[in-house]
Chain A
């Protein structure tokens, strides 16, 4: 374990440790036997519930016991309880899993239990008439978003957290406007644009906004090109930037767009002649030009450009020599 000093132990110490561990092991086994036998006997009592709490504290990866716990809630504790009581029980379980997560942040079963709790929050405290039917839900889901944001502050590149964020955003009773999610990705990108997940999320949000016409696609895309160009020039070695650029170019149907971006990248290459990503992207886009717009471009010149760049790439990036050779070979095959 990290940060724990290894101390010298005498033979006596080791023996004493083994004895202490032995009693712990026996305790654990007894507890397990107890819980599982109750489960088999369909014991949905509060006693059983408390025993699962104890067991899961020691071993949160015992997913059978998580299942059992959920069944106790559904079949034993929820029936004949007011919605308010149900909400309180679920809130307590959310708090309990929060504590468990601090000690075991990567255990999937704890996250699953959280999702289950969120999804089972009852309607209330108000009713359909007074408009606060989703009051409890709003509170819990808002807090969940806060938890995810704290995680992403600590590690903005944790793709599990980004995935969970998408789950939370989708499940919120009052959905956040997508434009605020766009602003969130912008903040994360500005903090450090070497972040595939943030760019990826941005692309998903933009796709949704464009297809629902909430955002003018042409204008917005220009803004994105401006943004990505700044990233490109600031750090041409950052792969996530080039991936996003590829997504922006899309299918390559727009010849003017392709040619414009190629010249932007060429300017960067002139300034930074050893940038392998510039070369590779120019090759990639010129090949698209050849493929999609063969009638309106100088195929011969473009092919020549690509061959030259590919041989430069072989020298610059020898670990991928074979890949560049392969691409070069396929150009000569000609447009389909």
Chain B
């Protein structure tokens, strides 16, 4: 590294920050990307089992009351082959159409990793059994649990949800109605089907979720069906989001970005802004910052710093940098209780198909692999949703999601599966995550093939994921410290897309600030038109062709 002078320094290699780093580097800016952790991914990192255990220890002894991760506990033993696990702190499924997929393709980062189509989605019925989620015409046709009339109504609703519903008479006046109520009143759907739609198709998190946002989410997922296969969702290899964040960092590095991991940040000081010579109102020279790192020879300087709220250095919190109002943790905000468990027995997330005369008459030609998979055995990558009130000792107001990752997602060794359980809870709750989630974990374990002896997990960790404090981005003119908005509690498939949108917002802001400074120095009159920048430059020809799908 020749000199320590950069256009932008980004602190923290979470997904949003990493996408921003890649975009800024590819746009030609000098970027340094720092992370105090020795690994990429920040709060979305994909960790080996050893790293996860260390992470759990570090955060369980953390004394910060408003830290992102609290109440962390873990089981004592670490199973063998610890390095063959890639466990993600932000378990997600990726919709096949959306900002995240587009960013992956346009940036070329999709080549760095592979993806697996979600194999099945199921919903937990209050009778203690699993039901298949009827998300497509084919699913509805085959489903044995829905009456004929209800099938018609469900199809009518699904068609409605995939189209332009904004100005329809069905939606008129109902935008803010609870979604469950809308489904039952306007589409005459039963309580049961409405619950399935709300929680396992639209991925609502609570009984109060409003209609319009739920419909918009559902439409995005419906449009994602068929792009890569019957499911709308992909699961990333090697732990998903964390590995993809690392991919964006790699893309940034390839375009000249500089990476420094594992060094503690000692200080972050703003430089004095140089006074403008003609006292013009539009003093666009950026104040800039100096950062010193532990065990690092030179200080680094930059015009802009980008980081999330959890990475704002204490030096600056008391400064007058307007990084947005710092809210106290509101009593009514939502956290997510999480569990990560490792098991060594397969679990079937598909409803057992009921046999009837038809199946007996037609010989079971199970010779094809796809029919074997479809029969529900050997599930590898699947989602199970527990709607509110589906589990006797579970939540009555929130839905829990369970994501299963097997060896097919290259995140676990052969014969092992990772279970991710997530349940939104009130931040103010004093109940421990383990107590909240045990009923769900136990329910899932009894779904293993041998129901008499449910498997005991080889490893578990429970923790609380809390929302961040400040949410506003600063006023552009008076600060060059850009705060990345947090993607907090949201539907399971939404976080990567939300993070991508945040990245683009921050990217455009940074570009505007940097260009404004350059052009004012050069006396360039027409500034505004040159300020907008494509989020990604066009890929070179040979790269572009390999993106054909």
Binding site for B on A (CB under 8 A): 177, 179-180, 182-184, 186-187, 190-193, 215, 219-220, 223, 226-227, 229-231, 233-236, 267-268, 271-272
Contacts and interface: CB of A to CB of B under 8 A. Distances in A.
A221 B361 CA distance: 12
B152 A183 contact: no
**SS class of chain B's interface: helix, strand, loop or mixed?**
helix
A271 B152 contact: yes
B152 A233 contact: yes
Contacts of B153: 271
Contacts of B148: 229-230, 233, 267-268
**SS class of chain A's interface: helix, strand, loop or mixed?**
helix
B365 A180 contact: yes
Contacts, number: 62
Interface in B233-288: none
A179 B360 CA distance: 10
B276 to A, nearest CB: 51
A55 to B, nearest CB: 33
B142 A190 contact: yes
Contacts of A272: 152, 156
Given A233-B152, A235-B155, A236-B152, 9 more contacts: A177-B363, A190-B142, A215-B361, A219-B357, A220-B361, A230-B151, A234-B137, A268-B148, A271-B149
Contacts of B140: 234
A271 B189 CA distance: 13
Interface in B303-358: 357-358
Contacts of B365: 180, 183-184
Contacts of B371: 187
A322 to B, nearest CB: 30
Contacts of A268: 148, 152
Interface in B353-393: 357-358, 361-365, 371
Contacts of A236: 152
A230 B371 CA distance: 21
Nearest to B367: A180
Interface string B143-157: 000001101110110
22 contacts: A177-B363, A179-B361, A182-B362, A184-B365, A186-B358, A193-B141, A220-B361, A223-B358, A229-B148, A230-B148, A231-B141, A233-B152, A234-B137, A234-B140, A234-B151, A235-B141, A236-B152, A267-B148, A268-B148, A268-B152, A271-B149, A272-B156
A177 B148 CA distance: 32
A223 B361 contact: yes
Interface of B: 137-138, 140-142, 148-149, 151-153, 155-156, 357-358, 361-365, 371
Nearest to B155: A234
Contacts of B357: 219, 223
A229 B152 CA distance: 11
A236 B155 CA distance: 10
A267 B153 CA distance: 13
A231 B151 CA distance: 10
Rank and list the top 10 A-B pairs by shortest CB-CB distance, nearest first.
A183-B362, A233-B148, A234-B141, A179-B363, A233-B152, A233-B151, A223-B358, A180-B365, A183-B365, A182-B362
Contacts of B137: 192, 234-235
A231 B363 CA distance: 22
Contacts of B156: 272
A230 B152 contact: no
A297 to B, nearest CB: 26
A107 B39 CA distance: 57
B27 to A, nearest CB: 28
B197 to A, nearest CB: 16
B147 to A, nearest CB: 9
